Amino acid sequence: MSDVAVKIENVTKIYQLYNRPMDRLKESMSLFRKKEYHHKFYALNDINLEIKKGESIGIVGKNGSGKSTLLKIISGVLTQSQGDVCVDGKVSALLELGTGFNPEYTGIENIYSNGLIMGYNKEEMDERLDDIVNFAQIGEYINQPVKTYSSGMFARLAFATAINVDPEILIVDEVLAVGDAKFQIKCINKMEEFKASGKTVLFVSHTLEQIKRFCTKGVWIDHGEMRMFDDVTHVIDMYESEMLKESMEQKALEEEDPLAVKIEFEANLGKITAMRCNQETLNTFDDFIVDIEYELYDDLKSEPLVGVAFYTIDRQYIFGPNTHLDGMKIPKTKGLHQVRYVVPKLPLLGGKYEVDIGLFANNSIVNLDYETGAFVISVKADYFTEGLVHMEHHWEIIKN
């Protein structure tokens, strides 16, 4: 695990739910007959995830999807029902506001008690105290019981303590949402410093733009299952598309508009059925051709589109055209259809690249089907230069 900060294998978290308090007693009294009065709720179901040291991971999902449960298991607050979790490094976690703080203690006392939980003695916390107090900026309230704090003051103290105890892994779960804009900027800047030093960050926020700008990879948790783990921009785009689709479907149902209902349920009406490229090993300036076959299960009211996206092997986004942006209308009637995508004189330089292919409706808002890494192409470059792509250029001597 030299380069792995967190490794999660087949992790499941199950809660036993009872309809009535009496059912819990009945079940405890029927141990020998093994009669169950509960039903199982899977907060997490078979999660597999490997996070490398130095990565910043954004976790998205609706309320109740299992995000906080996953972070609590990683930080050791909860124990999984099944599976294994390996964490390599000291963890500092900002979970639910107030977790780990005693409301009767003063701010100073809570700093020391949190340091003790992290494994630091008093002398070590003495060295960090000024940095924590200066970052929190809550003035004389630092010597008052935290039960008198506002939520913003609470967040300031919690973040200041967590970030200044020098952990290898920082977990932030929606705590920044209670701070003012100036404090959020300050926290993000501090997290950027933390990330730049090679530390690992796991970040949950409903402000998706924060995750997109700060994180390198994204995890989408949906009803306790991991829906996607990929480049953060791709994950956020797919998540926002799904949320918008659900919102529009709900609105259409509420308005009882049959036409709108049909349009918004188009996400279940098509898929990519076949993909072929002319070659997966090619030279710079070779033609690259992709044939895409898609099937529509019914006529669409909106215009569908097909997109092709190029990524480096470590998922840096290079280029992503689609038929809609290029002004090409493709068939939207029920049945099988084929489109061809041609890149004459592919300008990519030497290396391996991933090619994603997607089928969308409603101007790319609704994702019908998406194939991540549909092809991995190897490009050989006789033309010697540096970078990712070749740009047409020339040199001139303007003064001899």
- 274-305: per-residue pLDDT in tens? 999 999 999 999 999 999 999 998 888 778 89
Distance CA 343, CA 287 (A): 6
Cβ proximity of 263 and 251 under 8 Å: no
Instruction: Give the residue, 205 or 132, on which the prediction is more confident.
Output: 132
| pTM for the full predicted model | 0.61
Looking at residue 233, what is its pLDDT? 83
State the angle between helix axes of 181-196 and 151-163 in degrees (0 to 180), rounded to the nearest 10: 10
Residue 209 pLDDT class (50, 70, 90 cuts): confident
User: Going from the N-terminus, what domains does the chain have, and what CATH number goes with each?
Assistant: 268-380 (2.70.50.60)
In the block, tokens 């050989």 appear at 380
Taking residues 209-236, report their average pLDDT.
88
- For the cut 90, the answer to whether the pLDDT of residue 242 exceeds it is no
pLDDT at 261: 46
State the average pLDDT over residues 87-106.
80
Segment 150-168, tens digit of pLDDT: 878 888 888 888 888 778 9
DSSP string, 5-45: EEEEEEEEEEEEEESSHHHHHHHHHTTTTT---EEEEEEEE
Give the pLDDT score at 192: 83
- The reported pLDDT for the residue numbered 362 is 66
Cα–Cα distance, 292 to 336 (Å, whole number): 10
Assign 97 a pLDDT band (cuts: 50, 70, 90): low
307 against 257, higher pLDDT = 307
Residues 99-119: tens digit of each pLDDT: 668 889 999 998 998 888 777
Confidence of residue 86 (pLDDT cuts 50, 70, 90): very high
Q: What is the pLDDT of residue 69?
A: 92
Average pLDDT, the chain: 84
* Per-residue model confidence (pLDDT) at position 263: 45
**Alpha carbons 327 and 237: distance in angstroms, whole number:** 22
pLDDT in tens, 172-205: 887 665 556 567 767 777 888 888 888 999 988 8
Predicted pLDDT at 264: 45
- pLDDT of residue 6 exceeding 90, the answer is yes
